[in-house]
Amino acid sequence: MRKALFVGIIAALAVAAPLAAQDADYKMSGSWIVSLGGGATLPVGDAADIFKTGYHGNATIGYRPAGSRLSYMIDAGFHSADNKFLVGLDSTDTASSLGRSEILTVFARFNYDLSPNLYFLGGVGVLRREFPVEGSNLIFTNTDAGIAATGGLGLVLGKLLFLEGRVMHKFSDPSLTIVPITIGVRF
């Protein structure tokens, strides 16, 4: 299901790119950018063994200088997903809940306009994961933070709406890779 969703979004962006390039009314001007969005967070690789597909919320503020295809932004997100297992819990233990992983992200990022309706995004920042750990009949929260990078594509849908698909990867040990699919509004 996740692979089909991801492939579908990439295919839609690939089909939309030539259509967006034909828009002759594209005007670059300096402007502030504020956006709010949310959507599905898909765990990839080892992260798919740890937690299930979840949800996220995202806020971005930035600026595009006049005459530039580059926008510079600060991007913050909150991701939440149910855990598939709880560290330290075996088949003889019982738990009413396996808990939720919560991932906080902050990125310094840029958007590069490929066309009036399609943009590439990239950036670096911090990804912090908080998750419950079983021990001594108590569940406590463990925090795992590290340097991360992000990259992906975005599609502008009309004047206010956008759709983004990107990959976020945390480089520290253990590494973590998630794919947030975001739909939102830009002011």
| Mean pLDDT along residues 165-182 | 91
> Whole-angstrom Cα distance, residue 138 to residue 99?
13
- Residue-averaged pLDDT of the chain: 81
pLDDT over threshold 70, residue 172 = yes
pLDDT over threshold 90, residue 73 = yes
| Confidence band for 21, pLDDT divided at 50, 70 and 90 | very low
Segment among 13-27, 88-102, 105-119, 172-186 with least mean pLDDT: 13-27
Asked whether the beta carbons of 51 and 83 are under 8 A apart, the reply is: yes
Residue range 2-22+29-186, CATH number: 2.40.160.20
At a CB cut-off of 8 Å and minimum separation 6, what does 53 contact?
2, 40, 41, 42, 43, 81
Placement of tokens 């510079």 in the chain: 72
pLDDT attached to residue 140: 64
| Confidence band for 47, pLDDT divided at 50, 70 and 90 | confident
